[in-house]
Amino acid sequence: MFRINYHNQYYSAFKDNELLNQARRLWLNSLAHFAPETILRGARKVIEESEYLPTLHRMIRACQGEPEKFGLIDAHAAYVEACRASSPKAAYHWSHAAVYHAGCASDWYFLASNPEKIAFPIFERHYLKICERVINGEQLPAPNAPALPQTIETPLSREENLKRMEELRKQLDI
């Protein structure tokens, strides 16, 4: 696609096969975590928006998509939201279910007990993978908030407690 669209720039940038193969390996390693459909969508986006041959950084950004269109927030804001969320986490009102699922994948205790410089890269990796799934059309399940019991048991009266205690003593020969 790039060779056809950016003909002169492409041949100027990749003058020989050795350079082209090196670039292909670099791009393959850097884009390996994206689904093929995501890479194609990113390439089309770059071609539509830019008249110049894209850099690898530009291509990665295009593959990541525009999370705002899907109700997703940026990775650092999601990290802050995950760290500040009250317990129980499933009952918290999340900006998007992806934040909750990234927090679960990162481990809530790990996020709470480590400094940002250690915890954020782990959270960001999980969050970006989940965002990619959302952008590709996957529907994430909502957090499963624990429900209150249907019936609330009332404590036994003093007489009933004494009666049950006496029955236990008889059973245990105490």
Give the model confidence (pLDDT) of 30-85 as tens digits.
888 888 888 898 899 899 988 888 888 888 888 877 777 788 898 999 999 999 99
The verdict on 75 and 103 lying in the same domain is: yes
Q: Which of 65, 87, 113 is the last residue of a domain?
A: 65
pLDDT band of residue 147 (cuts 50, 70, 90) is confident
Question: What pLDDT is attached to residue 144?
Answer: 82
Q: Which two tokens stand for residue 6?
A: 């950016």
- Structural domain harbouring 49: 2-65
The verdict on 102 and 128 lying in the same domain is: yes
Give the total number of structural domains in the chain.
2
Mean local confidence (pLDDT), 89-109: 93
Q: Which two tokens stand for residue 78?
A: 């999601």
| Residue at 107 is within a domain | yes
Specify whether the CB–CB gap between 118 and 106 falls below 8 A: no
Cβ neighbors of 122 (< 8 A, separation 6 or more) are 106, 110
The verdict on 53 and 108 lying in the same domain is: no
Specify whether the CB–CB gap between 173 and 166 falls below 8 A: no
Q: Which of 65, 88, 107 is the last residue of a domain?
A: 65
Question: What pLDDT is attached to residue 103?
Answer: 95
The verdict on 60 and 83 lying in the same domain is: no
The verdict on 59 and 16 lying in the same domain is: yes
The verdict on 51 and 87 lying in the same domain is: no
Q: Which two tokens stand for residue 163?
A: 């009666």
The verdict on 14 and 55 lying in the same domain is: yes
Is the pTM value of this prediction over 0.85?
A: no
The verdict on 6 and 45 lying in the same domain is: yes
Residue 50 DSSP SS3: coil
